[in-house]
């Protein structure tokens, strides 16, 4: 593959499985892939029971609003993560405070 900047990227030696999706118009692909044991949950159809990502290799496609939220949420628990993005965006940590039960009770 050659990017618009002329960078050559070897796409044949880095993945055993590639799932193609084009965003919201693409049919969701829940559950395991027919060729691997890996699952590929879509953020719009996230399983209610959650997804166990502890120590696993994870790929996130896109850094839109949902991608940004998913990346910072799962980063502490995954073994490794690759993020695939067409155009880099400027991102800063949210630094949201953690509220205690006493804070919630006060409100």
Per DSSP (E only), the strands in 1-104 are 57-61, 80-84
Q: What distance in Å separates the CA atoms of residue 27 and residue 21, rounded to the nearest whole number?
A: 8
Render pLDDT for 83-99 as a digit per residue (tens, 0 to 9).
888 777 677 777 888 89
The pLDDT tens digits for 67-81 are: 888 888 899 999 999
Spatial separation of the C-alpha atoms in residues 75 and 71, rounded to whole Å? 6
CA-angle at 22, arms to 17 and 26, nearest 5°: 95
Q: What is the pLDDT of residue 25?
A: 46
Whole-number average pLDDT of the chain? 76
Model confidence, pTM: 0.50
């Amino acid at each position: 593959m050659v990017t618009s900047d002329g960078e050559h990227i070897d796409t044949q030696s880095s993945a055993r499985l590639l799932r193609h999706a084009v965003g919201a118009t693409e049919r969701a692909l829940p559950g395991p892939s027919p060729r691997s044991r890996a699952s590929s949950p879509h953020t719009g159809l996230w399983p209610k029971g959650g997804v166990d990502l502890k120590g696993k290799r994870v790929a996130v496609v896109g850094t839109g609003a949902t991608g940004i939220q998913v990346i910072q949420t799962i980063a502490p628990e995954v073994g490794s993560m690759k993020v695939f993005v067409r155009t880099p965006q400027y991102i800063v940590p949210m630094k949201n405070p953690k509220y205690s039960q006493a804070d919630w009770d006060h409100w």
